[in-house]
Structure 1
Amino acid sequence: MEKWEYLSTKFQAEGSFGGILDVENFDLELNSLGNQGWELVSIVSTNAAYGKTREIIAVLKRKK
């Protein structure tokens, strides 16, 4: 049976209306984790008031 380990990492959304993600930083971090063997499984956004994105949570996995 395969065994996995999981990692959750947060990315802050900036801006006063709607929450803006720094896509360049996001891509750099995901590519860095991918080079370490992590595979992206899911992305979830957390919301503040009125649906504004507060942070993005990325869940990754890799074989143990």
Structure 2
Amino acid sequence: MQKWEYKTVKVDAKGMLGGVVDVQEFDGLLNQLGQQGWNLVSVFDTNMMIHGTSREIVAVFKREGS
């Protein structure tokens, strides 16, 4: 039976009204975790602000466990 381990990473959106993620920084995070064997499963926002913007997103990763 295949076993998985999971990792969640919070990414803060920047700016006065929120909703702006540093794409280069996020790409770097994705590449770094990918080199460690983590696969991106899902990304979602957690803090809906006025006008539908968000101050934080969460990325969920998984990789084969032992």
Determine if the TM-score, normalized by the shorter chain, exceeds 0.5: yes
Gaps of 5+ in 2: none
CA RMSD in angstroms, aligned pairs only: 1.1
Deviations 1:16-41 (A, max 9, x none): 12420000000000100000000000
Percentage of matched positions with identical amino acids: 53
What residue in structure 1 maps to residue 20 of structure 2? 20
- Ranges of 4+ aligned residues in structure 1 off by more than 3 Å: none
* Structure 1: gaps spanning 5 or more residues: none
Structure number with the higher strand fraction is 1
How does the TM-score come out when normalised to structure 1?
Answer: 0.91
Instruction: Pick which of 46-55 and 6-15 moved more.
Output: 46-55
Aligned residue pair count: 64
Q: What's the TM-score once normalised by structure 2's chain length?
A: 0.89
Cα distance in 2 for partners of 1:8, 1:39 equals 11
